[in-house]
Amino acid sequence: MLALEGVKILDLSRLVPGAFCTMLLGDMGAEVVKIEAPGVTGIGSSPGAVSRGENSRAAAYYAPDRNKKSIVVNLKSEAGREIFYRLCRGADVIVEGFRPGVAKRLKIDYETINKLNPRIIYCSLSGYGQDGPYHAFPGHDVNYIAMAGVLGLIGSSERPPAIPLNLVADFAGAALYGALGISIALVARNKTGKGQYVDVAYMDGAISLMTWFNCGHFFDGSTLKRGESWLHGAYPYYGVYETKDGKYITIGCLEPHFWENLCRFLGKEEYIPYHFALEHTFHKPENEKWDEIRSFLRQIFLTRTRDEWFDLLIRNDVPAGKVYTPDEVFGDPQVLHRQMVIEVEHPALGKIKQVGIAPKLSNTPGRVRSLPPLAGEHTDEILQGLGYKRQEIENLRQEGVVC
């Protein structure tokens, strides 16, 4: 049994955060149907959308679309909307990532669908949310994390902010919070019998992720500055160091006993008293001793390779981590043991590797049941399930309503 078995999700999203959100739910057993638009390609579109009719290798490896079926429907047509309405009557969740107002213009918004199915949970993912002075503004991850106060804190104080991929707003602020919001709404529906609207803003999610870091601001007005606090690497006990082989090792000696372990191991007991103090939370080092300690650590870490240091530090109970390149990650024994790289059988390509499922549930673990579909791969199957006859489907295809 899978935790979300029996939950039916219609995925209208066109960008990766929406696809990742529904992937997370699909991995836990939800039945996800991608409602794709005819001829949609470009940034964020799945390889399956540009590979219909081919045995596309890229589409098979596109993990955000695993555990899903695909139907291509022109929602701008009346007949296309009728297909969508029929799907909605038997669905539990809808996920869309259009700019605010688009779903209403297409007549597929929450108010319209709620009349057809009061139990529907309708989740909208948008940059700034469905209301407020910015709701119609365009944007992407870098814009949202900038406005959320995240970007200004990433990097060193001597350089401009460093862009952390699109992990914070896109994948955490939108996708993870979207999956969380939907899961909460499903639990609430079990109690009330009614669905509801889930409004997820990329910027809101990014701000929420900053909750702990903003406690001081609300308490006494104190504010973090980029590269100037203990968690920014401003202090040598928490940082990144180059090693003999040109690679990098990280240490995270935030607790005094870990710092003491490192100092004793390196034969520098005199450095033990120099550890965290409250001012480190907001201010960069001002005592010259910190420069000495950092200089020593930089020099000592250059005397061995990254992997040698990792083995030595862990053996001496010092928090350490290798700075991996992406290809190194999936050869790590812990990653393999935790099944964070999995193999799924493809009918033509053999075994396909993908990133595994993070939450490990003891009784209802997630599972990759199917590889990503090509766009429209299940159009006929889904339409037949809705009661359409073969000739009706062919007519719809000839009219450009479905593909």
Phi, psi dihedrals of residue 201, rounded to the nearest 5°: -105, 135
- The encoded tokens of residue 2 equal 């899978």
Determine the Cα–Cα distance for residues 197 and 110; give it in Å rounded to an integer. Answer: 7
- Scanning the structure block, which residue is given the tokens 């109690």? 191
Phi, psi dihedrals of residue 10, rounded to the nearest 5°: -105, 120
* Active-site residue flag, 217: no
Please classify residue 283 by burial: count the beta carbons closer than 10 Å to its beta carbon, then call 0-12 exposed, 13-18 middle and 19+ buried: middle
- The encoded tokens of residue 142 equal 């870098």
* Active-site residue flag, 170: yes
Determine the Cα–Cα distance for residues 136 and 124; give it in Å rounded to an integer. Answer: 14
Residues 92, 109, 170, 204: which is the catalytic one?
A: 170
How many CB atoms sit inside 10 A of residue 317's CB? 13
Residues 140, 199, 283, 346: which is the catalytic one?
A: 140
Side by side, the strands of the sheet bearing 238-242 are 238-242, 248-252, 320-322
Residues with a catalytic annotation lie at 140, 170
